[in-house]
Amino acid sequence: MTEFIEPTELLEKLNADATPLVIDVRTPDEFNQGHIPGAINIPMDDLPTRLSEIPKERPIVSYCNMRHPGNSRGERAAQFLKDSGYQALAIDGGFIEWNKAGLPVQAQSL
């Protein structure tokens, strides 16, 4: 079962010393339109082949737009990472809730 972190709690952790690694599991186009500052983009379909890029010693927070709660990409990514030996959570409500809370967003400059 996927565990969640609230967007505001994640922002507090990102501003603290023990920074989690935030992984945006949306497509590169979605990521480029706007993402959580400091997040890396590893699309859900690429996650199994890119595990070597993810440090096991850091907590991981994954997210997507969470349009399908219970079966979203962010939740599936967090569960996959947990099953692979990582400490992983998903953002409750995904990027949509992050935006609704008025939290910082970074867009890729083209």
Divide the 110 residues of the chain into consecutive groups of 10 and give the mean pLDDT of each group: 91 85 97 95 97 95 94 96 97 96 84
- 110: in domain: no
Q: What's 18's domain CATH number?
A: 3.40.250.10
- 94: in domain: yes
Select which of 21, 23, 60, 64 is catalytic.
64
- 93: in domain: yes
CA distance 47 to 54: 10
- 91: in domain: yes
Tokens 């969640």 identify what position?
A: 4
- 55: in domain: yes
- 26: in domain: yes
**Total structural domains within the chain:** 1
Residue 56 structural domain: 4-100
Tell me, yes or no, if 107 is annotated catalytic: no
Pairing verdict, β 21-24 and 40-41 = parallel
Q: Residue 66, exposed/middle/buried by CB under 10 A (0-12, 13-18, 19+)? A: buried
Q: Tokens for 92?
A: 């409750």
Chain centroid offset of residue 107 CA: 16
- 25: in domain: yes
- Give residue 109's pLDDT: 61
- Give residue 15's pLDDT: 86
- 23: in domain: yes
